[in-house]
């Protein structure tokens, strides 16, 4: 087997029970029903580790910490932890706009697949309870970096909660405008070729930064952190410099 070093470099932890990876943006967690031959987590990592059990999902464009079980026992343990809401999940997002708050807890009930675009929508009657705790980390010109800690695990929870507040995540084509982040937006007197300018960030600006779990066999508390991928790191660096 030819070793894919990009996959190897994404591994944060591996033992007989777990594989923890820094999932790259663009790689789906599960097979795409419309394109079953498209690469996904199991198809890419199973050649390295054998049978794998998916425990939780990250959206295709979202990067960051993803836990994968290597046996049914580990799978059951992690499923129980997610169901019991004992797992710590910490995200960071680059959002469009300047939130009026420094910290905020959002408790909008959510209903998945709620419109023609199959978005998760706010539904205070038929929706399921959903809670996310947000904190502003840095404010820039036109953008803000926020921490998001979901207390529940609804589909698109962070994206829909932020969009409902009026601060969609940068690059979110489903809940925002899909406008990427460009250096020409930030740098005064930018003289590059704007017509052919490549964006600093041209996808959903959401990253699963940290995940805290209990090891399914040893019972030890574990916390994993995934560094920003190159595109988000570059966007943050330029926002700090010019924004």
Give me the long-range contacts of 73-77 (CB less than 8 A, separation at least 24): 73/17, 73/216, 73/217, 74/17, 74/18, 74/216, 74/217, 76/216, 77/214, 77/216, 77/217
Q: How many whole angstroms separate alpha carbon 112 and alpha carbon 130? A: 12
Residue 104 burial (C-beta neighbours within 10 Å; 0-12, 13-18, 19+) = middle
Which of the following is catalytic: 9, 15, 51, 59?
59
The number of beta carbons lying within 10 Å of the beta carbon of residue 4 is 13
CA distance 202 to 173: 10
For the question of residue 59 being annotated catalytic, the response is yes
Question: Residue 129 corresponds to which tokens in the numbers above?
Answer: 């309870």
Provide the 3-class DSSP secondary structure of residue 239. helix
Chain centre to alpha carbon of residue 17: 23
Active site residues: 59
């Amino acid at each position: 087997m030819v070793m894919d070093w990009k996959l190897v470099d994404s591994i944060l932890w591996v033992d007989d029970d777990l594989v923890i990876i820094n999932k790259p943006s663009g790689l789906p967690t599960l097979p795409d029903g419309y394109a079953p031959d498209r690469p996904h987590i199991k198809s890419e990592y199973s050649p390295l580790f054998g049978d794998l059990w998916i425990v939780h999902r990250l959206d295709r464009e979202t990067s960051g910490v993803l836990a994968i079980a290597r046996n049914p026992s580990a799978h059951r343990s992690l499923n129980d932890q997610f169901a019991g809401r004992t797992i710590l999940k910490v995200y960071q997002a680059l959002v469009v706009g300047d939130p009026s708050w420094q910290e905020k807890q959002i408790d909008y009930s959510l209903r998945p697949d709620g419109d023609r675009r199959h978005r998760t929508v706010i539904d205070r009657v038929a929706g399921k309870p959903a809670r996310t705790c947000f904190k502003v980390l840095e404010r820039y010109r036109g953008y803000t970096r926020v921490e998001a800690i979901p207390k529940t695990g609804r589909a698109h929870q962070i994206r829909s909660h932020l969009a409902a507040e009026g601060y969609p995540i940068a690059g979110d084509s489903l809940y925002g405008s899909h406008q990427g982040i460009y250096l020409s937006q930030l740098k005064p007197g930018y003289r590059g070729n704007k017509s052919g300018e490549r964006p600093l960030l041209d996808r959903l600006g959401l990253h699963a930064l940290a995940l805290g779990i209990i090891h399914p066999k040893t019972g030890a508390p574990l916390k994993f952190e995934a560094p920003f991928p190159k595109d988000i790191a570059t966007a943050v660096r330029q926002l700090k410099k010019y924004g």
